[in-house]
């Protein structure tokens, strides 16, 4: 059995990055413990606050955000952080090296029904001379990430992470150690499983409606095979399924808020997940371009997402190119 720290050392990971990842994992272990307590600790349910996204904050959203903020800002390597739950970036050590963006508890609408949620993180480097108190400092494309991953709080707590040398899974043991449980994860290029919120079907652009319509035709349709559908309403769980056994996950643009490219956020959902997907030989696209190529204009900007098995995402993209 190999510990996370041993594995990262074996991969010759930058020592300061290893130290940052260790801080992130201390925070995620604390979050996992709080989640396990759930109702017993009186921490389910919502607060009276809404976040910058206009969403009502769950108590555990705030708790998770506070745990990550405190631990990261105590680490002198952290120059600043940006969180889904924070309107503005939070500066750390002005001589720090890393910027961390995160969604402290993605899928939190699932907490009260005891369904999997997760912490998503993305690590960038401070450009020398930039001010970590300014939004502009964080507006780096996903290609600039030096590490990204998530901890999925499910039946077990599993870390999926990349530092640009492939994707690996680590399971949280009762000892408090993350143990390597799957190395060099690769997404099967083909799939029979798709994940999308079908209740939005009438709002999608025609290319997406045509593609999903053809999936539903199964072996009688142009895709020539029958598909199965999943929707957990927790992106971390959906992406973990895609990394584990293939599939396509999409939250595309829809006409409910036409001025916005999609529901999910680029900096701390789209980019970290896309880094993982590409490192596992999948595709992560806005349906027009690779998500990692998007130049962010604001920290909380949203992005249309279609990611997963290479050949299936390529099929979806062919519907969009035909639709131009
Ligand atoms: P809907 C959770 O709120 C989230 O941000 C993602 O984790 C998830 O994939 C999506 O939104 C679910 O959205 O519209 O189905 O509730």
DSSP string, 174-234: TTS-EEEEE-S----S--SEEE--GGGGGGS-HHHHHHHHHHHHGGGSTT-S--EE---S-
Are 275 and 142 contacting, i.e. CB atoms less than 8 angstroms apart? yes
Give the mean model confidence (pLDDT) for residues 7-23.
97
What is the 10 CA–ligand 1 centroid distance (Å)? 36
Q: What share of the chain is helix, strand, coil (3-state, %, to 5)?
A: 40, 25, 40
Is 311 assigned a ligand-binding role in the annotation?
no
- Higher per-residue pLDDT: 229 or 44: 229
- What confidence category does residue 324 fall into, taking pLDDT thresholds of 50, 70 and 90? low
pTM of the model: 0.96
Residue given tokens 């680590």 in the structure block: 170
The residue contributing the CA closest to ligand 1 atom 2 is 107
pLDDT in tens, 138-173: 999 999 999 999 999 999 999 999 999 999 999 999
pLDDT in tens, 194-215: 999 999 999 999 999 999 999 9
In the prediction, which pLDDT does 41 show?
77
Q: What percentage of the chain reaches a pLDDT higher than 70?
A: 100
Structure tokens given for 218? 């199964």
Are 23 and 121 contacting, i.e. CB atoms less than 8 angstroms apart? no
Residue 315 pLDDT greater than 90, yes or no: yes
Regarding the beta carbon of 53 and ligand 1, being less than 6 Å apart is answered no
- Higher per-residue pLDDT: 323 or 76: 76
The residue contributing the CA closest to ligand 1 atom 4 is 107
How far is Cα 250 from Cα 208, in angstroms, rounded to an integer?
Answer: 10
Regarding the beta carbon of 235 and ligand 1, being less than 6 Å apart is answered yes
What is the 233 CA–ligand 1 centroid distance (Å)? 5
What is the 253 CA–ligand 1 centroid distance (Å)? 13
Residue 227 pLDDT greater than 70, yes or no: yes
Regarding the beta carbon of 106 and ligand 1, being less than 6 Å apart is answered yes
Regarding the beta carbon of 103 and ligand 1, being less than 6 Å apart is answered no
- Higher per-residue pLDDT: 244 or 47: 244
In the prediction, which pLDDT does 48 show?
83
In the prediction, which pLDDT does 304 show?
98
* ipTM > 0.95 (yes/no): yes
Nearest ligand 1 atom, CA 251: 9
Query: What's 126's DSSP letter?
Result: P
Torsion sign (Cα): 159, 122, 313, 281: negative
- Higher per-residue pLDDT: 111 or 206: 206
Instruction: Kindly provide the b/e burial profile for residues 157-169, where b requires at least 16 CB atoms within 10 angstroms of the residue's own CB.
Output: bbbbbbbeebbbb
What is the 109 CA–ligand 1 centroid distance (Å)? 8
H-helix or E-strand containing 228?
A: strand 228-229
The whole-angstrom distance between residue 149's C-alpha and the CA centroid of its chain comes to 7
Regarding the beta carbon of 234 and ligand 1, being less than 6 Å apart is answered yes
Taking all residues of the chain, what is their mean pLDDT, rounded to a whole number? 96
In the prediction, which pLDDT does 112 show?
87
The distance in angstroms from the start CA to the end CA of the chain is 51
Give the mean model confidence (pLDDT) for residues 293-311.
98
Minimum mean pLDDT range among 36-50, 115-129, 199-213, 265-279: 36-50
Give the mean model confidence (pLDDT) for residues 237-264.
97
């Amino acid at each position: 059995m190999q510990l996370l720290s041993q594995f990262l050392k074996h991969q010759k990971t930058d020592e300061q990055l290893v130290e940052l990842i260790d801080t992130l994992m201390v925070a995620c272990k604390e979050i996992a413990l709080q989640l396990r307590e759930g109702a017993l600790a009186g921490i389910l349910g919502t607060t009276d606050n809404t976040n910058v996204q206009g969403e009502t904050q769950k108590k555990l959203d705030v708790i998770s955000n506070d745990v990550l903020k405190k631990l990261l800002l105590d680490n002198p390597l952290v120059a600043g952080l940006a969180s889904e739950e924070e309107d503005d970036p939070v500066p750390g050590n002005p001589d720090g090296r890393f910027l961390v963006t995160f969604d402290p508890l993605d899928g939190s609408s699932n907490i009260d029904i005891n369904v999997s949620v997760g912490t998503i993180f993305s690590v960038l480097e401070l450009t020398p001379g930039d001010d970590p108190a300014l939004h502009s400092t964080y507006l780096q494309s996903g290609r600039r990430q030096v590490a990204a991953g998530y901890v999925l709080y499910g039946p077990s707590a599993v870390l999926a992470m990349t530092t640009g040398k492939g994707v690996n899974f680590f399971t949280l043991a009762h000892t408090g150690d993350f143990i390597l449980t799957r190395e060099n994860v690769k997404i099967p290029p083909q799939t029979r499983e798709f994940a999308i919120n079908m209740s939005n079907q009438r709002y999608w652009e025609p290319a997406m409606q045509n593609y999903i319509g053809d999936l539903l035709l199964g072996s009688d349709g142009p895709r020539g095979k029958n598909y199965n559908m999943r929707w957990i309403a927790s992106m971390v769980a959906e992406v973990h399924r895609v990394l584990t056994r293939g599939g396509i996950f999409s939250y595309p643009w829809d006409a409910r808020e036409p001025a916005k490219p999609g529901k999910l956020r680029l900096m701390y959902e789209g980019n970290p997940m896309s880094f993982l997907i590409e490192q596992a030989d999948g595709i992560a696209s806005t349906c027009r371009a690779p998500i990692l190529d998007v130049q962010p204009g604001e920290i909380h900007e949203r992005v249309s997402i279609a990611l997963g098995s290479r050949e299936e995402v390529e099929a979806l993209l062919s519907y969009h190119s035909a639709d131009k």
